[in-house]
Amino acid sequence: MDASLYAVTPLNLLGALLLVLGAAFLLLGGLGLVRMPDVFNRIQAGTKATTLGTLLSLAGMGCLRPDWGLKLLLIGLFILFTNPLSSQVLARAAHRVGLKKSPLTQVDRLAEDTGEAP
């Protein structure tokens, strides 16, 4: 057990606050996955919330354990570069196989241009 993590210092408080904020955004992302009507809107909720939620959690961890800073920064960079890419590939694949879109959908220029299932 590392006692320094439980000491009440400004940096520890900031770290705890950032961790809670990060967790809150992750929770909202999870709620979005449940509430959103189709796969594209779900991916939107998932990508944005997990990116900011994880970055805030990493920043909070960096305040609690400054000696981990460099590695936490690297994890953050990996998330920033990989998260949007995986979402884009998922969305492209979902569109290509013609997964059902929400009836609220207004336009689909991609289907118009490629002839993929509208």
Partner 1 sequence: MLPLFSILLILWLMLNASLAPDVLILGLVTALVIAGLFRGSLSPLTEFKATPAALRAAPLYLLYFLKELVRSNLRLANVVLSPSLPLNPGIVKVRTRLTSRMGRLLLASSITLTPGTLTVALQGEWLYVHWVRVDHDDIDGATASIVAGFERYLEVMYG
Closest approach, Cβ 76 to partner 1, in A, equals 11
Measured from the CB atom, the residue of 9 and 73 that comes closer to partner 1 is: 73
Please tell me the distance from the alpha carbon of residue 12 to that of residue 63, in angstroms, as a whole number: 6
- Specify the residue, 9 or 93, whose C-beta has the smaller distance to partner 1: 93
H or E stretch including 51? Answer: helix 39-64
The whole-angstrom separation of Cα 98 and Cα 91 is 11
What are the backbone angles phi and psi of residue 6, rounded to the nearest 5°?
-100, -5
Measured between its terminal Cα atoms, the distance across the chain in Å is 57
The token duo for 92 is 């492209």
Q: Which spans of this chain sit near partner 1 (rule: CB under 8 A)?
A: 25, 28-29, 31-32, 35-38, 40-41, 43-45, 47-49, 51-52, 55, 70-71, 73-74, 80-81, 83-85, 87-88, 91-92, 95, 101-102, 104-111, 113-114
Pick the closer one to partner 1 by CB: 15 or 53. Answer: 53
Q: Residue 15 Cβ, how far from partner 1 at the closest point, in Å? A: 19
